[in-house]
Structure 1
Amino acid sequence: MEKTHFTQEINMTPELMARIEELCSHYPADKRKSALLPVLHEAQDAHDNWLSIELQDKVAEILNIKPVEVYEVVTFYTMYNRRPIGKYMFEFCQTSSCCLRGTEDLMDYTCEKLGVKIGEPTADGLFEVRGVECLGACGYAPMMQLGDFYKENLTKDKIDQIIDDCRDNKIILHDK
């Protein structure tokens, strides 16, 4: 999957635009750029959890900033996706506490179980495994983030159950 540019239908619904304007209202009118991170979250959530170049350009236009100002933020933070991703993104913490408690083995196990490599979505588009920096739950290592929620004290059995629950649509991804 070496494609570098993906296209996406951009749908800036009236509801999405109202939410963006509400976010921008928290900042001075001449500082709309300050709303960039929350606006990117809203745009990504409304567009299948990823931000195409065209959608990033639209965000720049809405905030009246240069497109490169959006690109530099989107490419810096791992919470923004620049390509279509699996519906269930397993983001395993890869910092010291989690590594000492076996996160790397759990990542390998999960990839093997799903038949993918790290950073590669399953053929059905349902799952993807990614390693991320500290998620701030060291006392519950090993752990991962799934949508807006943490899955902690992970074991192979817990991974199996999470995968089954995702397949059965029992997992809620967002706390909204």
Structure 2
Amino acid sequence: MSNNEKCTCVECGNTDERMDKLKDILEEYRSIKGNLIPILHSVQKIYGYLPEDILQVVSEKINIPMTEIYGVASFYHLFSLEPKGEHIIKVCLGTACYVKGGQIILNRLEQELNLEVGKTSLDGKFTLEATRCLGACGLSPVMTVDDKIYAKVTLDDVRRILDEYTKVEVDK
């Protein structure tokens, strides 16, 4: 667990404001039919992903089996069962970006970060994702880091872009 990550463990008794928010959400959605997806969205907004112990609480409180919760959480791409990094890097692999080198950019990021697509770095700094379209085909290849868009990315740009996010931490 990283220094800024709080325990989500229900059994240890270390509750925080997130658990209070979760209880409020479960109460709000308790009697609403089809409540699972909105609850999962709320849990992910609170925790940044869907922690197993929190999903167990959801299961018990709204009386939906864990298998059903996992089925929904793993079916929809928006949900994550693993913690995300501080910075989310997305590389477009849509047709225009792929043709102009999107896969090569993604390969370089994997190499630079020593990280597979869909995984988070051990230090919790980066999560690397491939996406089908970022809606900027005329600027291909395109990648984003969090909400910042990088257009016409070259192999030489990759290290410079990563340094923007690692250098900031050193300067703090």
Q: TM-score, normalised by structure 2?
A: 0.68
Match of 1:153? 151
Match of 2:33? 31
C-alpha spacing 1:46/1:134, structure 2 compared with 1 (3 Å): same
Give the Cα separation in 2 of the matches to 1:19 and 1:30.
11
> Following TM superposition, by how much is the alpha carbon of 1:87 offset from its aligned partner in structure 2, in angstroms?
2.3
Conserved 8 A contact 2:140-2:153: no
- Computed over aligned residues only, the root mean square deviation of the Cα atoms, in angstroms, reads 3.1
Q: Which amino acid aligns with 1:73?
A: V
> Following TM superposition, by how much is the alpha carbon of 1:64 offset from its aligned partner in structure 2, in angstroms?
3.6
Match of 1:14? 20
CA distances 1:29-87 after superposition (whole Å, capped 9, x unpaired):
34142xx334223312332x222333223233344433222211211123222223432
> Following TM superposition, by how much is the alpha carbon of 1:88 offset from its aligned partner in structure 2, in angstroms?
1.8
Conserved 8 A contact 1:143-1:150: no
> Following TM superposition, by how much is the alpha carbon of 1:112 offset from its aligned partner in structure 2, in angstroms?
1.9
C-alpha spacing 1:15/1:53, structure 2 compared with 1 (3 Å): closer
Conserved 8 A contact 1:20-1:42: no
Conserved 8 A contact 1:32-1:63: no
Q: Which amino acid aligns with 2:46?
A: A
- State the SS of the aligned residue for 2:108: helix
Q: Which amino acid aligns with 1:45?
A: K
> Following TM superposition, by how much is the alpha carbon of 1:90 offset from its aligned partner in structure 2, in angstroms?
1.3
**What is the correspondence of 1:25-174 to structure 2 with a 5 Å cutoff?**
29-33=31-35, 36-47=36-47, 49-147=48-146, 149=147, 151-156=149-154, 158-167=157-166, 168=168
> Following TM superposition, by how much is the alpha carbon of 1:125 offset from its aligned partner in structure 2, in angstroms?
2.2
Match of 1:3? none
Conserved 8 A contact 2:85-2:127: yes
Kindly tell me the number of residue pairs found equivalent between the two proteins. 155
CA distances 1:84-107 after superposition (whole Å, capped 9, x unpaired):
343222122222122122211111
Q: Which runs of 5+ in 2 are unaligned?
A: 1-6
Q: Which runs of 5+ in 1 are unaligned?
A: 1-6, 170-176
Conserved 8 A contact 1:98-1:141: yes
Conserved 8 A contact 2:143-2:151: no
